[in-house]
Amino acid sequence: MPKNISILGAGKSSITLIKYLSDLSKQLDIQVKVIALDVEYFEVNVFKNVIPIKLDINEENKLVGCIKDSFIVVSMLPAFLHFKIAKICCKFSKNLITASYLTPEIKSLETEFFKKNAFLMMEMGLDPGIDHMSAMRIIDRLRKKYEIKSFESYTGGLLAPNNFYNPWQYKFTWNTSNVVLGGKDGAVYLKDKKEITIPYKSIFKKIELINIPGLGKFEGYANRDSLKYLEIYDIKNVDTLLRGTLRNKGFCSSWDIIVELGLTDPNDYIKNASEMTHKSFIKSKLNHLKGENVKALVSSYFKVDSNSEEMNNLEWLGLFSNEPIGVKSGTYAEVLEHILKKKWTIANNEKDRVIMFHRLKFSKNGIEKILESFLVIEGENHIDTAMAKSVGLPIGILIKEILLNKITLRGINLPTSKNIYNPILKELEDHNIIFNETVY
């Protein structure tokens, strides 16, 4: 009897994972169930031993039935739903894998997962995921001979270079709401032995230029709480520890204006969005200023030239146009997301790319060196994206290793131990996911 691998919330971002499991389904004796509200793609495009199941996540009885019937559940649902799924999996002794961050709420289930002889693997994707595994491989290697002084890491899901004009050099390659709300919790990190806290409205002002060989310079900004990785990575004595996000040059100062305007507010609700244009949407945050020329108001308010890179970027998005928004209501963040999708949805003839960069300082006998490691993954097309590959393959490889009894897990886990990261990183290299290293 084949074991069921159930993928919840599986969209196009899960296609690499589903193809990988489908190709190995006979060898692994598994059946893959794709469970989502929209499974049309998987009904039209038939994969071997893959069964599409249409399901609204709020249909509790059906959801529980699907989970009870599974050996491993993979949740590709929005992060806020993972606790709900984790509780059901725990109750019925089912194993769960997600690509999202481990939260204190989910961590509270650790004892129960142990009692139920089941596992939950969190942060098994790209960032978090490949970033942890590649970082730990370097850290574990260096600490045998050296003292690690600092660790910095940046990852970005970006648009691959092409001939289409896009001054942001960016389009959505992952969860759109996560992009809109990115940085909302601020950031905290360690710099030269000092804890640095950055509030949301300063995140996109405080950037570092990251030079990656052969690719050029990118903007890096701090992301979330880096301090917890002092313990997770077991590098408690470092002077600097920062984890961040990569964007192409020019992105951050332009996005900062959008944040400062309050357009990413997830709580401020607009009832009459259907009556608004892009321009009046912006103007609604500037009603305290006199004048009807919204571009001029933004330019004056933020003291940037009307022909500046920032203003050109906002104008390219159509934020100063009379185009109707096209949505009835929603929070400012939701309305902004709807507007951005008009320009930031990746087209059929476009490709994405993923870039990851680590920089470590280490020393021995007073001699300090720097190690830089970077990864570039190119998408094949708008379906087989770099993001789908870099999120899906680590999960797929982990499932394979578990089914072959090469990895044994219990309780709640992160992919930071050798027995997990070594086989996964090794197989990722077979898929051309390879890090380049320089020491100087």
215-224, 227-236, 281-290, 390-399: lowest mean pLDDT where? 281-290
**pLDDT tens string 228-268:** 999 999 999 999 999 999 999 999 999 999 999 999 999 99
List the domains of the chain with CATH numbers: 3-125+386-433 (3.40.50.720), 130-254+348-378 (3.30.360.10), 265-344 (no CATH)
Q: What is the spatial distance between Cα 57 and Cα 61, in angstroms, rounded to a whole number?
A: 10
Q: What is the mean pLDDT of residues 431-438?
A: 96
Q: What is the spatial distance between Cα 57 and Cα 88, in angstroms, rounded to a whole number?
A: 12
Strand ranges, E, within 20-145: 30-36, 50-54, 72-75, 95-98, 119-121
pTM higher than 0.85: yes
214 CB-contact burial (10 Å; exposed 0-12 / middle 13-18 / buried 19+): exposed
User: What per-residue confidence (pLDDT) applies to 285?
Assistant: 93
Q: What is the mean pLDDT of residues 86-112?
A: 96
Whether pLDDT at 131 is above 90: yes
Range with the largest mean pLDDT of 30-34, 53-57, 210-214: 30-34
Among the listed residues 407, 404, 427, the one whose alpha carbon sits nearest the alpha carbon of residue 417 = 407
Name the more confident of 78 and 97: 97
Identify the helix (H) or strand (E) that includes residue 376. Answer: strand 367-378
Distances from the Cα of 388 to the Cα of 76, 301, 381, angstroms: 11, 40, 11
Strand ranges, E, within 145-286: 147-159, 187-191, 194-198, 207-212, 216-222, 224-225, 240-248, 269-270
Strand ranges, E, within 312-351: 330-331
DSSP state of 101: P
Q: What is the spatial distance between Cα 141 and Cα 233, in angstroms, rounded to a whole number?
A: 13
Contact between residue 345 and residue 171 where contact means Cβ atoms under 8 Å apart: yes
Count of all residues that appear for the chain in the document: 440
User: C-alpha 271: how far from its chain's center?
Assistant: 30
User: What per-residue confidence (pLDDT) applies to 26?
Assistant: 92
**pLDDT tens string 282-303:** 999 998 888 789 999 999 999 9
**Cα angle value 243/96/390 (rounded, 5°):** 45
Pairing state between β 72-75 and 3-8 = parallel
Identify the helix (H) or strand (E) that includes residue 140. Answer: helix 130-142
Q: What is the mean pLDDT of residues 420-434?
A: 97
Q: What is the spatial distance between Cα 410 and Cα 82, in angstroms, rounded to a whole number?
A: 18
Contacts 24+ apart (CB under 8 A), 81-89: 81/9, 81/57, 82/106, 85/8, 86/120, 88/63, 88/64, 89/118, 89/120
User: Which residues, listed in sequence order, are joined to residue 378 by a DSSP beta bridge?
Assistant: 353
Task: Name the percent of the chain lying above pLDDT 90.
Answer: 85
**Cα angle value 402/153/333 (rounded, 5°):** 90
Q: For residue 413, how many C-alpha atoms fall within 13 Å in the half-sphere facing its CB?
A: 23
Mean pLDDT of the chain: 94
User: Which residues, listed in sequence order, are joined to residue 438 by a DSSP beta bridge?
Assistant: 372
Sign of CA dihedral 53, 59, 62, 65: positive
Q: What is the spatial distance between Cα 250 and Cα 258, in angstroms, rounded to a whole number?
A: 13
**pLDDT tens string 320-332:** 999 999 999 999 9
User: What per-residue confidence (pLDDT) applies to 12?
Assistant: 65
User: What per-residue confidence (pLDDT) applies to 391?
Assistant: 95
